[in-house]
């Protein structure tokens, strides 16, 4: 099973950008292209362990997102703490070789260190060349869903706390950035019963239900071509094991964890490229298996860490 969606790339660029964004109003536009090269690591049974890479290639994932953002200044006072308050309305459309989905997000920044946001996405997908863009798990296998007869959807509410030491200690070399984001997310596919598995964007093991995601970032921003370097942790899962239906007691609730090291390259004010490497974790089971579609019938015994992928994300602002 290929690892988690590339959603964290969008999250990182949005959050990191909000720390250093200049005061603005009106419309702005951007195009973002994400890509990931996955390394193969075969599953290994047992308790918590690290699975070494077993092959150079396990897939490629790409997608592009066009976004339009309208910024509305809403100062709550004249002090430096309140004068920069703003509301942002963001709409866009995400396209990948296997999926299509529009998105909408509203964020409110009452203080420089706090961003509150709500958002929604809905889309559909298809399957091609053996890749599972849009599938339902039936009779021990992932089977294709009909595009535009079923729809993927997710909806979230979240809060981001962000801090830049450069705001206290002036200087180009004092920008140590700390970001923490927490989101409650409901996701699902229409027409699929609760407790049934499905796949989206070539990622298996999803179920309808309410989940969470916590992202923390520690970065260092510099006045160089290498604009920022840092590390990031991404934790996500379901709140309730009941979302997994009949296999809740054996497959059950699990907090996925991903750790990434990244560097952001600033070609100019309008073009940036992020390069990252990621280590991820997944369920480990008491018995060996070869494919992800076998997992709902196995018994979870621990956590398996592995080297996941190399990621590139290019952003063009207009």
Contacts of 49 (CB under 8 A, 6+ apart): 284, 302, 304, 305
- Taking a C-beta distance cutoff of 8 angstroms, is the pair 118, 105 a contact? yes
The dihedral through the CA atoms of 82, 83, 87, 88 has a sign that is negative
Contacts of 169 (CB under 8 A, 6+ apart): none
Tokens 């996955």 found at: 38
Q: What is the pLDDT of residues 1-28, one digit of tens each?
A: 334 455 455 455 555 555 555 556 799 9
- Taking a C-beta distance cutoff of 8 angstroms, is the pair 209, 154 a contact? no
Q: What is the pLDDT of residues 205-262, one digit of tens each?
A: 999 999 999 999 999 999 999 999 999 999 999 999 999 999 999 998 899 999 999 9
Residue 197, pLDDT above cutoff 50: yes
Beta strands in 96-242 (DSSP E): 99-111, 114-125, 134-138, 141-144, 152-164, 175-189, 197-200, 203-207, 209-221, 226-238
- Taking a C-beta distance cutoff of 8 angstroms, is the pair 238, 207 a contact? yes
Mean pLDDT of the chain: 90
What's the rounded Cα separation, in Å, for the pair 313 and 145?
29
What's the rounded Cα separation, in Å, for the pair 300 and 188?
23
Claim: this prediction has a pTM higher than 0.85: yes
Reported as type and span, the H/E element at residue 65 is strand 55-73
Domains of the chain: 7-317 (2.40.160.40)
- Taking a C-beta distance cutoff of 8 angstroms, is the pair 51, 303 a contact? no
Tokens 């004092």 found at: 174
Residue 75, pLDDT above cutoff 90: no
């Amino acid at each position: 099973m290929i690892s988690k969606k590339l959603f964290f790339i969008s999250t990182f660029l949005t959050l990191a950008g909000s720390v250093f964004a200049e005061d603005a109003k009106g419309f702005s536009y951007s195009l973002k292209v994400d890509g990931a090269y996955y390394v193969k690591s075969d599953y290994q049974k047992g308790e918590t362990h690290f699975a070494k890479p077993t092959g150079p290639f396990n897939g490629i994932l790409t997608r592009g997102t066009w976004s339009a953002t309208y910024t509305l200044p809403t100062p709550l006072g004249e002090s430096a703490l309140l004068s920069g308050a703003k509301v942002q309305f963001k709409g866009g459309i995400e396209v990948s070789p296997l999926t299509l989905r529009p998105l909408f997000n509203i964020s409110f920044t009452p203080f420089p260190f706090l961003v509150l946001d709500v958002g929604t996405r809905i889309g559909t997908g298809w399957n091609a060349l053996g890749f599972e863009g849009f599938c339902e798990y039936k009779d021990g296998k992932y089977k294709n869903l009909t595009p535009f007869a079923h729809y993927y959807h997710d909806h979230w509410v979240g809060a981001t706390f962000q801090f830049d030491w450069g705001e206290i200690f002036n200087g180009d070399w004092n920008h140590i950035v700390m970001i923490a984001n927490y989101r409650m997310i409901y996701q699902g596919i229409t027409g699929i019963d609760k407790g049934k598995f499905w796949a989206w964007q070539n990622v298996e093991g999803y179920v309808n239900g309410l989940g969470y995601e916590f992202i923390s970032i520690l970065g260092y921003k510099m006045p160089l071509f290498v604009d920022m370097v840092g590390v990031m942790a991404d934790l996500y899962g379901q709140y309730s094991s009941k979302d997994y239906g009949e296999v809740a007691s054996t497959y059950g609730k699990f907090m996925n964890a991903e750790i990434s090291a990244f560097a952001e390259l600033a070609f100019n004010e309008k073009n940036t490229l992020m390069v990252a490497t990621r280590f991820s974790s997944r369920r480990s089971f008491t018995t060996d298996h070869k494919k992800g579609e076998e997992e709902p019938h196995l018994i979870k015994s621990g956590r398996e860490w592995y080297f996941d992928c190399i990621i590139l994300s290019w952003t063009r602002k207009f």
